[in-house]
Structure 1
Amino acid sequence: MNASRIALVTGANQGLGRALVEGLAARMDPNDLVLLTGRNAQRVADAAREVTGLPGTRARVEGRVLDVTDTDAIARLAEEVRDRFAGADVVVSNAVARLLPDESQAERADEFIDVSNVATHAVLRSFGPVLRPGGRLLVVASSLGTLGHLSPRLHHLFDGASLDQVQYAVESWRSALHHGTAQEAGWPVWLNVPSKVAQVAAVRAVAAERREHDLATGTLIAAVCPGMVDTATSRPWFSDYSQAQSPAQAAEAVLDLIFTDGVDPALYGELVRFGKALPWHGGTPPVEQDRMLTP
């Protein structure tokens, strides 16, 4: 990566996003900059100040207010990064909408899709072009993001799809949810499954277009699965947290992927978990009555 590197993390006020900012700031150099983003100005300012004051922090940390549901705001931030810094070296799309087990999946669908999917598409479209050679553009997903977790009836919507086609599939799913026809069409009740599959499919779509050039320049675009993480978002879904990682522990594998020299072609454009690619066609459709989060 270049000197005076620029990194950016969305959804970085707390949890895994905050841990990734802390790890980046600790591993990067004093002339590098980490942009910590979130939608609440006070929380962003507080988090940036706190990370700056940590003993292990070496790089500069600045806060940026960013509501990832505002695709124009994502585009403007990418333009700022391009114009002010001549591009970014690390971009991690991490924002997620919190959903509790006792909440209606259908009623929360719009917010969930906007934060997890529409925002992912916008980050890929806006920051892909400003990613410096040798950079890293990662989307935080989960092991539920493999195609086999969806009904075979839906595979054609995502397998080999372009980014435009992935976006169309997501909006078709949203429409089916609004009209009460989603289950009839084969969509699972639990939002997290099609959302994660669509995130990984979006990454695969962008990576397919860029693969040759990116591999030649040591640039990585991938989805990442951090495993089970003890956060406010995930804790309500588990009865046993004995195997859960802290956000700092979960961030380590992602940070290792970011800072590894060169790019393993087997990981490019894939869903990566602990340094290994998960098979795109793997997984089985969930049993709805269980509805438990799989790390």
Structure 2
Amino acid sequence: MTTTEPTTAETTTATSRIALVTGGNRGLGRSEVLALAAAGNDIVLTYRSGEDQAAQVADAVRALGRRAAVLQLDTTATGTFEQFATDLTAVLREQWQRNTLDILVNNAGFAAPTPLGGITVDTVNSLVAVHFTGVVMLTQTLVPLLADGGRIINTSTGLARFVGDFGLSVYASIKGAVEVWTRYLAQELGARRITVNAVAPGATATDFGGGSLRDDEQVRSGLATVIAMGHVGLPDDIGAAVAAIASENMSWVTGQRIEASGGMRL
């Protein structure tokens, strides 16, 4: 467990909202962390591997004048979630003198090809474990630590609305399940004024799925023709969307799929 302290006492207060972002050390998670911090939230970010990356992101949060804590978490290891909640509670008490957080962003994930004829049980199980089972069980574990009036943001994909690469069919289908679960959870947590929404990124220039959307200009140019805004998205576009959904101004929006795709395949 690694923690960082704020630069000055004036930059943070005991009333700061606290956001937990899984997989916050890289890719979309990193951009989400920094956007949330820039919007005035303190941060707990998790990483599965890449501790040095996570420490660098925490330093960037600190540079924005917010507090940051870093915890290791494998979102497929459901048997460790209770201990994670215990560790998180200790961090909240130590750094913020609180027992609760305000925002949970379920971001951690990966892509794996599942072309028809080449789908394996192991690949399906791995995708389900990360993108569905881990999200459901971790959220269930952490809901008691979420303050009333808080936010839960799950991660879906534009591919749950439109058909893209056939090799991502299982990944997209699992994200569809996440969207259904998001609506059920929103109904269940409404009495506590906790909103639950799913952000659905479109084509975004990260290293996700091998990085072609970031590095292959031919792929990027081809996709630009089916995006209303005329270009592939940037990680910071998704970070900004997540920060907006997490804001206190979004208290009347819940149970929604919010696509951040620049109008892809409208």
7, 27, 40: which one aligns with 1:28: 40
> Would you say 1:142 and 2:157 are equivalent positions?
yes
SS where residue 123 of structure 1 aligns? helix
101, 109, 121: which one aligns with 1:96: 109
Letter in structure 1 aligned against 2:183: R
SS where residue 105 of structure 1 aligns? coil
Taking a change above 3 Å as real, the CA distance of residues 212 and 54 of structure 1, as seen in their structure-2 partners, is closer
* Mapping 1:98-177, distance limit 5 Å: 98-100=111-113, 104-106=118-120, 107-145=122-160
> Would you say 1:14 and 2:26 are equivalent positions?
yes
Taking a change above 3 Å as real, the CA distance of residues 22 and 101 of structure 1, as seen in their structure-2 partners, is same
Which residue of structure 2 lines up, in the alignment, with residue 263 of structure 1? 251
* Range moving further from structure 2, 205-214 or 229-238: 229-238
Deviation at 1:44, TM superposition (A): 2.6
* Range moving further from structure 2, 48-57 or 66-75: 48-57
Taking a change above 3 Å as real, the CA distance of residues 44 and 28 of structure 1, as seen in their structure-2 partners, is farther
> Would you say 1:37 and 2:52 are equivalent positions?
no
- Cα deviation per residue 1:256-276 (whole Å; 9 max; x = unaligned)? 111242512xx311212259x
Letter in structure 2 aligned against 1:227: G
SS where residue 249 of structure 2 aligns? coil
TM-align CA RMSD: 3.1
Distance 1:6 1:52 in 2: 16
Deviation at 1:74, TM superposition (A): 2.6
Which residue of structure 2 lines up, in the alignment, with residue 228 of structure 1? 203
Taking a change above 3 Å as real, the CA distance of residues 53 and 236 of structure 1, as seen in their structure-2 partners, is closer
Counterpart contact for 1:6–1:89, Cα < 8 Å: yes
Deviation at 1:225, TM superposition (A): 1.2
- Cα deviation per residue 1:175-214 (whole Å; 9 max; x = unaligned)? xxxxxxxxxxxxx982123201111122122222222332
Which residue of structure 2 lines up, in the alignment, with residue 240 of structure 1? 220
Counterpart contact for 2:47–2:54, Cα < 8 Å: no
Distance 1:49 1:62 in 2: 11
- Cα deviation per residue 1:225-261 (whole Å; 9 max; x = unaligned)? 1332111114447823542111112211111111242
SS where residue 45 of structure 2 aligns? strand
Distance 2:150 2:192 in 1: 12
Which residue of structure 2 lines up, in the alignment, with residue 254 of structure 1? 242
TM-score normalised by L of structure 1: 0.67
Counterpart contact for 1:52–1:60, Cα < 8 Å: no
Deviation at 1:51, TM superposition (A): 4.1
Which residue of structure 2 lines up, in the alignment, with residue 177 of structure 1? none
Distance 2:178 2:63 in 1: 32
Distance 1:224 1:230 in 2: 16
Letter in structure 1 aligned against 2:205: D
Distance 2:137 2:61 in 1: 32
SS where residue 269 of structure 1 aligns? coil
Give the gaps of 5 or more residues in structure 2. Answer: 1-13, 225-230
Distance 2:123 2:105 in 1: 24
Counterpart contact for 2:103–2:246, Cα < 8 Å: yes
> Would you say 1:73 and 2:48 are equivalent positions?
no
TM-score normalised by L of structure 2: 0.74
* Range moving further from structure 2, 89-98 or 238-247: 238-247
Which residue of structure 1 lines up, in the alignment, with residue 5 of structure 2? none
Give the gaps of 5 or more residues in structure 1. Answer: 150-187, 276-292
